[in-house]
Amino acid sequence: PVLVVDFGAQYAQLIARRVREASVYSEVVPHTATVEEIVARKPAAVILSGGPSSVYADGAPQLDARLFDHDIPVFGICYGFQAMAGALGGTVTHTGTREYGRTQLSVDGGVLHEGLPATQPVWMSHGDAVTDAPHGFEVTATSAGAPVAAFEDRARRLAGVQYHPEVLHSPHGQQVLTRFLREIAGIAPTWTAANIADALIEQVREQVGEKGQAICGLSGGVDSAVAAALVQRAIGDRLTCVFVDHGLLRAGEREQVQQDFVASTGAKLITVDAVDTFLGELDGVSDPETKRKIIGREFIRSFEGAVSEVLGESAAHGEAVEFLVQGTLYPDVVESGGGTGTANIKSHHNVGGLPEDLQFSLVEPLRLLFKDEVRAVGRALGLPEEIVARQPFPGPGLAIRIVGSVNQERLTLLRQADAIAREELTAAGLDGQIWQCPVVLLADVRSVGVQGDGRTYGHPIVLRPVSSEDAMTADWTRLPYDVLERISTRITNEVPDVNRVVLDVTSKPPGTIEWE
Ligand code: XMP
């Protein structure tokens, strides 16, 4: 792998992701990893990430110069660039002036920026500056605040940049990273969806063994579908998928899972129809947290019921279900501090907490992948676009998109409005630009309108299109007016009792993506 040493900024994960976009496998390691630990991983290259603003700051993480004794290609970024310069005998000066934001970079020679514009905008964020490059390094770019803004030593396969190539504000950054990987480090682009899928199928086979049985809760979302498809490829009918229909799904979702998923994977599927139970329990409840609690609890009950059904069947064959498949992704793994291998669990949040006496080994084939990679693997496995291109949808479903209490009538309205918005966004080719677009029914709000010759007194529908890389932060998506107009016209014309469509123009923070 290419190891990204995380010096504590939020950029390390993003760097790993960019490296993978260049078809090279990459993982994040904490800066506390020792040189021995790093070398033991046999990295194809090491990337030193950005970090605190100054290498002179109290408690600033140190770079062990012995890293450079092992003939490993190294690329330094921002703080990592300065730490690298310092460790190799260059000079880092505490200039006191900060260079922050969009900056013009002047390029002069070198391999990193070859073929790219001689002046280009880059994203800077630093207080100190490298004023002398270490011996053997060629200085290949400068900026107003950074006399040494990029350097490289091709013979030793070392290079670095003061700016952040991983952010979109550095428009040529991805090319620069790719050039480091290919031209300086000499790494072949083998991290492709088909290769990943093959490797993961093989790993699942090894983990589950010749006889093991597994179950997987399908949510209708991309992650659980791809995880299930991988495991199904690996162990076939020894996997049972469970889908709980809680009545809070969007139009066509249950059918999609039952038909598209099964048709494209051949997986064994149990659908639990729990609509009446869920809607009964939710009757009259409008507090968001209470809704979530009820849904979580009922979900566990339904899942438990299905599991004992599966257990019953396989117990009859003298086997027991030993493995639980989950669609955990790499960002969750990094955030919870890493951790490897399988964990024996008693309760777990993804499924919602199973009974204490049921113990499963987790199978998490996606735990090293980012969302876009999961989609690519899904495509490589032949899952249809309707499944892999799906935008995230919350487990509690439409219940947390009805502000007010939930009932069948309100669900029907919201489902219609949501289907129209999705249809128009897809038709306009905007799905790729949108992370997700919750459609929310303000069921406890009414406003006056006029339709035909008459007064109406109906509910507003809120459109909440957001752009995001990971849902932790988000910005509202600037949708074209003509698309908004079409959605608005269609919803007010076609959905009974809705006479107004409003657009949510709040970023996250301060707003969350969902309304509840
Ligand atoms: P918020 O509203 O917190 O949402 O900004 C962030 C992301 O998480 C999704 N979301 C959920 N997903 N169960 C889920 O599986 C939940 O209870 C839940 N609540 C929010 C939301 O759709 C967005 O993608």
Task: Give the CATH number of the domain where residue 23 resides.
Answer: 3.40.50.880
Instruction: Determine which of 153-162, 359-368, 429-438 has the lowest per-residue pLDDT on average.
Output: 359-368
User: What integer pLDDT is reported at residue 421 of this predicted model?
Assistant: 98
Tell me which residue has tokens 């129809």: 273
Q: Is 96 annotated as a binding residue?
A: no
* H/E segment holding residue 498: strand 498-503
Residues 300 and 363: their CA atoms lie apart, in Å, by: 19
User: What integer pLDDT is reported at residue 343 of this predicted model?
Assistant: 35
CA of 397 to the centre of ligand 1 (A): 9
User: What integer pLDDT is reported at residue 59 of this predicted model?
Assistant: 78
Tell me which residue has tokens 């950029």: 11
Both 401 and 378 in one domain: the answer is no
User: Is residue 514 domain-resident?
Assistant: no
Q: How far is CA 516 from CA 189, 219, 258, 292, 401, in A?
A: 43, 19, 29, 9, 7
Both 247 and 300 in one domain: the answer is yes
Contact 268, 296 (CB under 8 A): no
User: Is residue 482 domain-resident?
Assistant: yes
Contact 48, 77 (CB under 8 A): yes
Locate 354 and state its tokens. Answer: 């199973």
Pocket test for ligand 1, best of 371, 513, 515, 516 (most atoms within 8 A of CB): 513
The CATH number that applies at residue 208 is 3.40.50.620
CA of 34 to the centre of ligand 1 (A): 36
Alpha carbon 273 to its chain centroid, in Å, reads 30
User: What integer pLDDT is reported at residue 345 of this predicted model?
Assistant: 35
Q: Is 22 annotated as a binding residue?
A: no
- Is residue 267 scored above 70 in pLDDT? yes
Both 323 and 454 in one domain: the answer is no
CA of 42 to the centre of ligand 1 (A): 38
Return the percentage of the chain with pLDDT > 70, whole number. 94
Torsion of CA 353, 356, 361, 363, to 10 degrees: -10
Mean pLDDT of 395-399: 93
User: Is residue 199 domain-resident?
Assistant: yes
pLDDT tens figures, 207-246: 999 988 999 999 888 999 999 999 999 999 999 999 999 9
Residues 319 and 330: their CA atoms lie apart, in Å, by: 32
User: Is residue 516 domain-resident?
Assistant: no
pLDDT tens figures, 20-78: 999 999 999 999 999 999 999 999 999 999 887 677 777 788 899 999 999 999 999 99
User: Is residue 171 domain-resident?
Assistant: yes
Q: Which residues are catalytic?
A: 78, 164, 166
Going by alpha carbons, the residue nearest to atom 20 of ligand 1 is 394
User: What integer pLDDT is reported at residue 360 of this predicted model?
Assistant: 81
Both 239 and 282 in one domain: the answer is yes
CA of 222 to the centre of ligand 1 (A): 14
Going by alpha carbons, the residue nearest to atom 22 of ligand 1 is 394
Domain count within the chain:
3
User: What integer pLDDT is reported at residue 321 of this predicted model?
Assistant: 85
Alpha helix (H) residue ranges in 180-284 = 193-208, 222-235, 253-255, 262-265, 275-282
Q: Is 223 annotated as a binding residue?
A: yes
Residues 18 and 10: their CA atoms lie apart, in Å, by: 14
Pocket test for ligand 1, best of 218, 248, 504, 514 (most atoms within 8 A of CB): 514
Contact 19, 181 (CB under 8 A): yes
Residue 459: strand pairing partners: 498
User: What integer pLDDT is reported at residue 37 of this predicted model?
Assistant: 95
Both 377 and 348 in one domain: the answer is yes
User: What integer pLDDT is reported at residue 347 of this predicted model?
Assistant: 32
Q: Give 16's pLDDT tier (boundaries 50, 70, 90).
A: very high
Return the percentage of the chain with pLDDT > 90, whole number. 74
Both 330 and 427 in one domain: the answer is no
Which residue, of 388, 414, 445, is where some domain finishes? Answer: 388
Q: Give 285's pLDDT tier (boundaries 50, 70, 90).
A: very high
User: Is residue 334 domain-resident?
Assistant: yes
Domain of residue 440 covers 397-503
Both 136 and 244 in one domain: the answer is no
Both 96 and 164 in one domain: the answer is yes
Both 60 and 148 in one domain: the answer is yes
Both 81 and 142 in one domain: the answer is yes
- Is residue 317 scored above 80 in pLDDT? no
User: Is residue 204 domain-resident?
Assistant: yes
User: What integer pLDDT is reported at residue 453 of this predicted model?
Assistant: 86
Both 99 and 121 in one domain: the answer is yes
Give the full edge-to-edge strand order of the sheet including 344-345. Answer: 268-273, 239-245, 213-218, 321-325, 360-363, 344-345
Q: What is the pTM of this model?
A: 0.79
Nearest atom in ligand 1 to 392's CA: 24
- Is residue 341 scored above 60 in pLDDT? no
Going by alpha carbons, the residue nearest to atom 9 of ligand 1 is 394
User: What integer pLDDT is reported at residue 339 of this predicted model?
Assistant: 38
User: Is residue 510 domain-resident?
Assistant: no
Residues 64 and 31: their CA atoms lie apart, in Å, by: 10
Q: Give 19's pLDDT tier (boundaries 50, 70, 90).
A: very high
Both 97 and 76 in one domain: the answer is yes
Is residue 45 classed as helix, strand or coil in its secondary structure? strand
Within 8 A by CB and 6+ apart from 395, the residues are 219, 295, 299, 352
Q: Is 507 annotated as a binding residue?
A: no
Going by alpha carbons, the residue nearest to atom 7 of ligand 1 is 471
The CATH number that applies at residue 420 is 3.30.300.10
Contact 261, 267 (CB under 8 A): yes
Which residue, of 332, 353, 388, is where some domain finishes? Answer: 388
Interface ipTM:
0.98
